[in-house]
Amino acid sequence: MIKYSNGKSYSPKQIKKSDDKKTVSLKRHLSSANRGMDLEGDINSSNEYYKEHDLCLITKRPTPINVVKVDYSKGAIITNAYFEKQSTTDYNGVYKGRYIDFEAKQTKSKTSFPLANISKHQIAHLKHVLEHGGIAFFIIEFVTKDEVYLLDAKYVIEFYENGNRKSIPYETFLSVGHKIKRGYAPRLDYLPIVEKIYVKN
Amino acid sequence: MIKYSNGKSYSPKQIKKSDDKKTVSLKRHLSSANRGMDLEGDINSSNEYYKEHDLCLITKRPTPINVVKVDYSKGAIITNAYFEKQSTTDYNGVYKGRYIDFEAKQTKSKTSFPLANISKHQIAHLKHVLEHGGIAFFIIEFVTKDEVYLLDAKYVIEFYENGNRKSIPYETFLSVGHKIKRGYAPRLDYLPIVEKIYVKN
């Protein structure tokens, strides 16, 4: 909890339960320093919003960790473990019965999204999702532009497998991507895009 | 690797790559001591089989772990962490575009499946899955009977919320459950049941 000079205090819980405009702007102010650094947080809170409003159910896969040693004398404390590479994607879930699967990434580049931080395993996973009729995409943030796009996985797979390029040009996002609207709740409203491009048509 | 008196050796890798009948029966022999103790392994290998044969894509969610301390001096070794309770289910994925979500549990009881090891959060999660048109079920093994059943989540939710009972009688599995065939590959062939009760009709 943060105490302010006016004697009022701020707590995240307070914000969650209140629609008060002042509280909202306070929260935005507090988080503006991290603008562009918290794509994951924005997606998680949007998913929470969608769940609470019965719009869809998307969950984040836990980070895979390889546990080497557990100390049971203190009630199962893990004392030796290491992070494993995610072989699938960060998010999946269900919308109107359909399977949804996506990965979220950020780039500081202004001109293109580098493919270096997408693994072969993730591309293989997304190809399988598409094969089985699932909805697969990326949510990619151009941090310095403060712009977030939804891009169907097939384009990323194409660029990844083409081999001539090591990045996807920004122009591709403008032409075949879909800009996601930022807001307060949900913070990244990507579901209307999913509805429009995958479900409605 | 295990060395045998006939000079031959056994390695799990060898089994995976070979269809040789002897190797197969050796594996079955070796695992028979653990019969009924490895439901998770059976499901994982069945999912692997389904993936390799392009039948569906079901992945296991990693165990959620809360990381307290990481030692970066040795290259990101986790030195303090603890297991968190799974608030969703163990498995989800896609079959013919449809979202699938399930939890696997075992019981040593011969007469009923106790609801004690299913959490409130898991029930809430499965209700959301059903609300959004997803396919949700349990795979439950009666270890002492060596029988495995697929039971639609709605029955488990009903029993869980009814409150009068703390377990689901074995008879319920016989009447509304679906017995899963055991085999070599896949070891637990639950997909034809999913096809029959959720997709075909």
B19 touches chain A (CB under 8 A): no
Chain B closest-CA separation from residue A134 CA (Å):
5
Contacts of B80 in chain A (CB under 8 A): 77-79
**Global pTM value:** 0.81
Q: Across residues B34-48, what is the average pLDDT?
A: 83
pLDDT in tens, B59-87: 999 999 999 999 999 888 999 999 988 88
The pLDDT of residue B21: 37
The pLDDT of residue A24: 36
Is residue A85 very low, low, confident or very high in pLDDT (cuts 50, 70, 90)? Answer: confident
Count of residues making up chain A: 201
The pLDDT of residue A37: 55
Residue A34 has pLDDT above 80, yes or no: no
Domains of chain B by range and CATH? 11-200 (3.40.1350.10)
A176 touches chain B (CB under 8 A): no
> Rounded to a whole number, what is the largest CA-CA distance in chain A?
60
pLDDT in tens, B187-199: 999 999 999 999 9
ipTM of the complex: 0.80
Residue B35 has pLDDT above 80, yes or no: no
Residue B20 has pLDDT above 80, yes or no: no
d(CA A93, CA A83): 23
Q: Are A129 and A153 in contact (CB under 8 A)?
A: yes
Instruction: Write the CB contacts of A89 (distance below 8 Å, at least 6 apart in sequence).
Output: A61, A101, A102, A103, A122, A125, A126
Task: Give the burial string for A43-60 (b: 16+ CB within 10 Å, else e).
Answer: bbbbbebbbeeebbbbbb
Q: Which of A188-192, B33-37, B40-44, B143-147 has the lowest mean pLDDT?
A: B33-37
Mean pLDDT, chain B, integer: 84
Chain A closest-CA separation from residue B43 CA (Å):
18
Contact A132 B95 (CB under 8 A): yes
Contact A129 B57 (CB under 8 A): yes
A59 touches chain B (CB under 8 A): yes
Q: Are A112 and B112 in contact (CB under 8 A)?
A: no
Chain B closest-CA separation from residue A43 CA (Å):
18
Q: Are A139 and A188 in contact (CB under 8 A)?
A: yes
